[in-house]
Amino acid sequence: MSEPAEKPWNRLSGILLHFTSLPGPGGCGDLGPEAHAFLGRLKRAGQRAWQVLPIGPTGYGDSPYQTASIFAGNPILVSPLVLHHEGLLDADEIAAFSANSPSGAHADFGLAQHLRWPLLERACERLSSRQGEPLDLLRRDFARYREAEQGWLEDFALFMAIKEAHGMSPWFTWPAALRDRHPEALDEARSRLSGRIHLHAFVQWQFERQFRALRKAAHAAGIELIGDVPIFVAHDSVEVWREREQFLLQSGDGPGHGSAGQLAVQAGVPPDYFSRTGQLWGNPLYDYRRMEADGFRLWRRRIRRAAALFDRVRIDHFRGFAAHWEVPGDATTAEHGRWVPAPGAALFQALLSDPEIQSEHGGIRFIAEDLGVITPDVEELRDRFEFPGIRVLVFGFGPDDHYDGRPWAFRKNSVVYTTTHDNATLVGWYRGESEGTRDDAQASAEQRRVQAYLGYIPEPGDAHWALIGLALGTAADTVIIPVQDVLGLGNHARMNSPGKSQGNWGFRLRPGQLDDGSLDHLRQLTGIYGRLAK
């Protein structure tokens, strides 16, 4: 496959850290002061990119890749401290919020919900009830936001209010009239649940205000924000409820219609490095014939939203746009499925020619997460649109001497990660800490290959810096380093273990953990390898 046309060098690097992993009160990190402080740390370290995971509302298992909406923001990312600054919360409420927030090494999403929602409810009520010019300005801004975003916001707020009224049960288990969106039932729900609908709209407005303030600060600091777009949509999401015809679901024809909305087939990946039985994701698959017929309307709306928030987005599971692994809807493992072609070329052509996507802040750039079972059609799709692919540094030290993932072979038009949120940490991998996917002999062989490649054996406490230097020194335009790797943390700090349903996504920085010494060392390496701002 030929390389894309050569472009001027624009080498940069950045850090991968999800918002929930920031320190601060409230059970998890958010978009408040600690996020702005992290921008300062990135700048000190000479980094010009901040990558996060998907930012939508999460549910069972807390996975950011299974969200209730592809447009909405996660309510627990709304900072009560910013609400106080805007006059919507009182000082004593913030003091109690901080006092009831034990400092833990892990994000506690249940605690975050418990502590934050009462404050969100009070702030919403005060916006309506308190008088004064500052709040008048906020009320007008809220009204403008609700009008501008009604295309997705009103159905999302209604969806969440109905879920709450039904004990957070998934939409496909609701009474048939609500499940199937009968107009009379929806009108009745809008009237009965108007207060909660107003609250959910308020929360999304605050998320938007806080996110845009952070993006403005990032741009002022010369730092781009990189988001993450999952390829598939969660089954229990407002988009699947609202636009059922876009997905391969059971119609429920017949007595009782009890199966309406259930999965006809579902997404996953076949057995691989991570799991002997594959990964069963539980997401509905797209009805691409419908999507092509309407010009990929849902995808265009989705990427317009991403372009309004981020400078670049990582497209998760890119190989699925060439062909995806289809598993029966009632399967219990992903072992027995089939590869089904997908119209990726037509989709990306539609996205790249959409004037609203390209006009938003100068257009959005894509990163193709081309990991996994990669075939020539995937590479052809990636290169046709000149999307940078992904290389993971630690994958380059396996036994295949011809593998193009060796550091010397990294393409210029690529994004290199030392590790990813789905892998062992850099130190955990190098030390061969148990992770269930490789044995001691394999770990030792890979460690020897690293040492041979470096030409020396790193000191025990410096292995992560040696490997970070390897990544920064490659030809790749962009290098992204998870913050765990900057800190030299072991596998206890990994973000996610694929195939494990619980205990993921909880990594969190402690206050002061990312200290000046680490930042200054990273800046020094960044400068040596030509990635500082010119």
Cα(525)–Cα(45) distance, rounded to whole angstroms? 9
- 446 flagged as catalytic: no
The pLDDT, as a whole number, for residue 363 is 75
Phi, psi of 339 (to 5 degrees): -85, 130
- 6 flagged as catalytic: no
- 360 flagged as catalytic: no
pLDDT digits (tens), the chain, 534 positions: 455 555 556 899 999 999 999 999 999 999 999 999 999 999 999 999 999 999 999 988 899 999 999 999 999 999 999 999 999 999 999 999 999 887 667 999 999 999 999 999 999 999 999 888 889 999 999 999 999 999 999 999 999 999 999 999 999 999 999 999 999 999 999 999 999 999 999 999 999 999 999 999 999 999 999 999 999 999 999 999 999 999 999 986 543 345 789 999 999 999 876 678 888 999 999 999 999 999 999 999 999 999 999 999 999 999 999 999 999 999 999 999 999 999 999 999 999 999 988 875 567 899 999 998 789 999 999 999 999 999 999 999 988 776 677 899 999 999 999 999 999 999 999 999 866 667 888 899 999 999 999 999 999 899 999 999 999 999 999 999 999 999 999 999 999 988 777 889 999 999 999 999 999 999 999 999 999 987
Cα(508)–Cα(501) distance, rounded to whole angstroms? 19
Cα(393)–Cα(423) distance, rounded to whole angstroms? 11
**Which two tokens mark 10?**
């624009």
Q: Would you call 167 exposed, middle or buried from its count of C-beta atoms within 10 A (0-12, 13-18, 19+)?
A: exposed
Q: Quick one: angle between helices 109-129 and 194-220, nearest 10?
A: 100
239, 360, 369, 446: which is the annotated catalytic residue? 369
Q: Which residue has the tokens 């506690």?
A: 108
Contact indicator for 270, 258 with CB cutoff of 8 Å = no
The CA-CA-CA angle for residues 105, 223, 87, to 5°, reads 65
292, 422, 433, 435: which is the annotated catalytic residue? 422
The pLDDT, as a whole number, for residue 1 is 46
239, 316, 354, 477: which is the annotated catalytic residue? 316
Cα(416)–Cα(529) distance, rounded to whole angstroms? 14
SS3 content of the chain, % helix, strand, coil (to 5): 50, 10, 40
The CA-CA-CA angle for residues 78, 80, 83, to 5°, reads 95
Q: Provide DSSP, 54-79.
A: --SPB-GGG-TTSBS-SSSPPGGGS-
The conformation of residue 31, written as its DSSP 8-state character, comes to: S
Is 0.85 topped by the overall pTM?
yes
Under CATH, which architecture does the 12-251+262-528 domain have?
A: Alpha-Beta Barrel (3.20)
The pLDDT, as a whole number, for residue 254 is 43
3-state secondary structure of 368: strand
3-state secondary structure of 338: strand
Cα(92)–Cα(328) distance, rounded to whole angstroms? 53
